[in-house]
């Protein structure tokens, strides 16, 4: 294919990385991205209108290689986010990164992943792509405010955070189904809107699973924060969230690396801190490789089933983690619905007790009847005993046997009912436990909530 003529207005400093370089980048990415059908339908042309079409506004953010600005699309009359390489790092690597990110993100057509609208080259030879302009706050900001602001803590309760987590998880699961690993899941890369929108962003270091050798030496995006940004050099990812095999730089990482990152994300959503912390990056990396993660229950009080889900995802050995993201999400959904989770074995007595202490309307009615019946059974036992002691002429053995039978049947009602019935939407669970007026009984709040200031684990 003969590349189109370059624009005369391309600046000399960017001439060597102009339209031809984007064409080369597109050609380089066709083969590795073919498993997810990311092949372009023709090269972008150096069209001055591509730049004049957008009226740029304020800068929205920047990373190690790219900058994102707000722009108004005069053709479609809509506000978009426009991303291009930073002028101080403009080069082949930045162009390849940008084109790959645009292609991968555009292919992942999912409600929780921002849509890409256009990929092109502006009049001065800079490649760019436009995507949905997201409005909201980063999850990292929400979690920070939740630790200190009671209003935010009330607005973003544990059930709502779990619903946010589910949306992020389904976006990751969809990407895995298309052969793409995110590799940089963290609160900073999740945008939460005020109308319930949840978007997983920054696919700049995503890895196409079929392309085992393509990105091993690629630098990752970075930020000014010492421990929060994606690091450059030894591995691709963010210390504290990256899986141990990812930290070691293994080339054979799979979806379980993102499962680990989701576990780290859920850990921070519940406790207010990442699972692995340290004074230096080296300490964080060492803690990740050693599996030095404080148990969740040492930081917050919460349901043991939820703690089991978190720690199963954060297992040091990937074979011990959830097999895939959907398996983890199935446990989270079971938790919300008040059902047992695969990460924790529960006996029948514990399941019955958790169900019987719930606040479902059906359960409340059953408890009322059950307590009344038990009261009558106790009355029969007491009356029989009293009459026997008074040496009344009554058939004592028969009366005692019937009283015991009635007592046993009534006491076993909830056990038999719970084991025989199928789960229903109205069963007690996270959503039921946190709706309506606050409960004064501790067992009603089945998940618990993070305290305003998380406690440090003993000995830390």
Active site residues: 184
DSSP 414: H
Helices marked H in 42-91? 48-52
Among 213, 175, 291, 186, CA closest to 31: 213
Residue 144, burial from CB neighbour count under 10 angstroms (0-12, 13-18, 19+): middle
| 310, 343 contact by CB (below 8 A) | no
Name the residue with tokens 């230096």.
280
Closest CA to 146 of 136, 159, 161, 156: 156
Give backbone dihedrals phi and psi of 302, rounded to 5 degrees, phi first. Answer: -155, 170
- E strands, 161-301, are 180-181, 190-192, 198-200, 207-208
Q: Do residues 440 and 411 lie in contact, with contact meaning Cβ atoms separated by under 8 Å?
A: no
Instruction: Retrieve residue 31's tokens.
Output: 């083969």
- Rounded CA-CA distance 428/337 in Å is 7
Treating both helix axes as pointing N-terminal to C-terminal, what angle do 158-177 and 255-271 enclose, rounded to 10 degrees? 170
Contacts 24+ apart (CB under 8 A), 278-285: 278/227, 281/226, 281/227, 281/231, 281/239, 284/227, 284/239, 284/240, 285/234, 285/239, 285/247
Q: For every residue of 137-179, which 3-state class applies, written as one string?
A: EEHHHHHHHHHHCHHHHHHCCHHHHHHHHHHHHHHHHHHHHCC
**Alpha-carbon distance 150 to 208, whole Å?**
42
How many other C-beta atoms lie within 10 A of the C-beta of residue 397?
A: 9
Which residue in the block uniquely carries the two structure tokens 């089991």?
308
* First-to-final CA distance of the chain: 62
């Amino acid at each position: 294919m003969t590349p189109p003529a370059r624009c005369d207005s391309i600046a000399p400093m960017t001439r060597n990385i102009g339209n031809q370089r984007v064409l080369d980048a597109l050609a380089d990415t066709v083969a590795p991205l073919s498993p997810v059908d990311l092949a372009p339908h023709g090269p972008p042309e150096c069209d001055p209108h591509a730049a004049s079409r957008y009226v740029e506004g304020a800068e929205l953010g920047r990373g190690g290689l790219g900058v994102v600005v707000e722009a108004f699309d005069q053709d479609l009359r809509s506000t978009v986010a426009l991303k291009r390489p930073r002028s101080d790092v403009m080069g082949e690597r930045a162009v390849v990164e940008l084109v790959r990110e645009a292609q991968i993100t555009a292919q992942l057509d999912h409600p929780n992943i921002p849509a890409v609208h256009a990929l092109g080259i502006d009049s001065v030879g800079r490649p760019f792509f436009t995507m949905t302009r997201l409005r909201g706050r980063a999850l990292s900001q929400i979690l920070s405010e939740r630790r200190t602001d009671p209003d935010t803590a009330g607005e973003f309760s544990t059930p709502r955070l779990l619903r946010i987590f589910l949306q992020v998880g389904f976006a990751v699961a969809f990407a895995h189904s298309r052969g793409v690993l995110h590799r940089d899941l963290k609160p900073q890369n999740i945008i939460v809107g005020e109308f319930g929108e949840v978007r997983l962003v920054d696919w700049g270091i995503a890895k196409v699973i079929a392309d085992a050798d393509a990105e091993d030496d690629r630098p990752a995006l970075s930020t000014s924060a010492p421990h929060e940004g994606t690091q450059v050099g030894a591995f691709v990812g963010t210390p504290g969230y990256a899986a141990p095999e990812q930290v070691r730089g293994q080339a054979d990482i799979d979806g379980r690396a993102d499962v680990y990152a989701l576990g780290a994300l859920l850990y921070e959503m519940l406790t207010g801190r990442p699972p692995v912390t340290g004074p230096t990056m080296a300490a964080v990396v060492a803690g990740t490789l050693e599996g030095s993660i404080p148990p969740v229950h040492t930081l917050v009080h919460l349901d043991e089933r939820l703690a089991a889900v978190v720690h199963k995802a954060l297992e040091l050995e990937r074979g011990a983690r959830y097999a895939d993201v959907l398996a983890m999400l199935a446990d989270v959904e079971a938790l919300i619905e008040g059902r047992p989770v695969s990460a924790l074995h529960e006996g029948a007595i514990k399941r019955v007790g958790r169900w019987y202490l719930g606040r479902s309307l059906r359960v409340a009615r059953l408890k009322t009847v059950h307590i009344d019946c038990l009261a009558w059974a106790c009355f029969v036992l007491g009356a029989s005993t009293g009459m026997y002691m008074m040496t009344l002429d009554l058939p004592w053995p028969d009366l005692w046997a019937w009283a015991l039978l009635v007592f046993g049947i009534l006491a076993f009602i909830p056990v038999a009912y719970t084991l025989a019935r199928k789960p229903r939407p109205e069963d007690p669970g996270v959503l039921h436990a946190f709706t309506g007026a606050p409960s004064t009984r501790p067992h009603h709040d089945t998940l618990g909530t993070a305290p305003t200031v998380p406690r440090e684990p003993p000995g830390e």
